Structure 1
Amino acid sequence: METTESRFVNLGRDGGVATVELIDSGPLNIVGTAATTALTNAFRSINQDSGVRVVVLRAAGEKAFIGGADIKEMVTLDRLSAQAFIRRLAGLCESIRQCPVPVIARIAGWCLGGGLEIAACCDLRIAESGARFGMPEVAVGIPSVIHSALLPALVGASRTTWLLLTGETIDADTAASWALVHEVVAPDALDLRIAALATKLAGFGPQALQQQKRLLAKWPDMTVQAAIEDSIEQFGLAFQTGEPQQHMQAFLSCKGRKAGSGPQAPEE
């Protein structure tokens, strides 16, 4: 496994699976300007690497995925510096959303504020059973902004309103029932589940996987009919890559071998 370490990020690569790990950012993995910039640069690097098939986003330790933005830094801000601060965080979120390959969030412990916005930008979210989620910005005098705008599509308008106005937290099982996370597993099973899922996705045709991610991103902004017509075009384009032929032939060959290994009828 190849690993590159910077001040706030470990960037690893094992075959087609890249891992971005937030480090050295306190026990709750708080993101300030420096950490935000380091994470953004890591994703920009990954986005230029054609060998990456899937990305796992995680943070050091088990106390938190990301506990939010750095209050010690924010307390010093004025209007203009506050806008610059939050714009940098929005840039990180966009670098995750625009990643051409699927991004899996490994969520352990607290996932709060900016951390939940970052998680919402990931394609798949797997949490351990002790994880807790919330948007507590109102409790420190600021609104939840930028990629909080993704939450209504994930959990619905009513639940988003509750999270943002009350600042209260929900547990992992509630998050799963709200479709905020895709799976909840035992803490000691989290890494195995993440590894299995990442390996599975990395084994799919890379062009098909990227094509599917692009379609998923476009559909919410299209009418159903426009989405159908566009997807017909995309279906045809898939066959120009050679991946359907390769994977379908492998499937048929495997099926044929299984059929050939079955019990033989006795000869007369």
Structure 2
Amino acid sequence: MQKNDSLKMPSSNGTYNNFRIAVPTDYEDVFSHFYFAENQSDKTVVKTLFPSYQTILIFNFGTKALLHSKQNTQIEIDKCLVLGTIKKAFDYSLPPQSKILVANFKDDAFYRFFGNALLAENLPINPDELLNENCFTALWHELGKISNVNQQVNYILEFCKPYLRQRNTIAEQITNFKEQSLNPIKAIASDNNQSERNIQINYKKHFGYSAKEINRYQRFLKAVEYIETIASKASKEDWFTIINECGYYDQSQLINDFKHYINLSPTKYLKFQQDICNPSK
């Protein structure tokens, strides 16, 4: 469902297809991308969704896909399901003859559709329940009539137009804030003559996470990029460089972040990446 969605190799020797679909320029502030996967083999494919800090809308076609919680419970994806904000990794399964199409909402886009980004936080929910009408079930039926996945994506994009609200002024400033030397909460509060607390509340309301949460996640992503570079070059890891370059206090804080987001230590994650990059070793 995401660029680095697989922390487990598929458990199938048959045909498993998955790929990302880019969105048109007009929708780049709404969706980061779409993701398609289908399992045409005779065995279940188990994957792990990498944390993305995005809310996702999943359409399921064919056999029902399954989400797996830490409590070892399973949630079936029937027709469509909203899940977010994806703050930690979790497993999902694609049984034989299953097929999913996933829309990845970007920044405050989920709020612009449904009015509150916190409604779906950590809770799988039918999107029709958020709008009090059966429009997404109807959309699922229409998508099922379309065999080409790119045409399905285009149909979703057209469907979304009437529901998309104008972006909130504060949310737009948060999204476009690029000055890394400044605290975005303090700067935006000052520019709008509002309290920092009010900006923090709006941040959480529109995005589904706080500025502190996303800063921690971005630090973690930077560390992941360093580790993946090490794996791709088969070079020796230098944890102290990673700690310093990514803004960690010490190795313990680095380890805590990796266990928090993906339940793996940096060393184990590196080993996994090396296994993928060098499968013969």
- TM class by smaller structure: under 0.3
TM-score normalised to structure 1 length: 0.27
Structure ID, larger Rg: 1
TM-score normalised to structure 2 length: 0.26
Instruction: Determine which structure has the larger helix proportion and give its number.
Output: 1
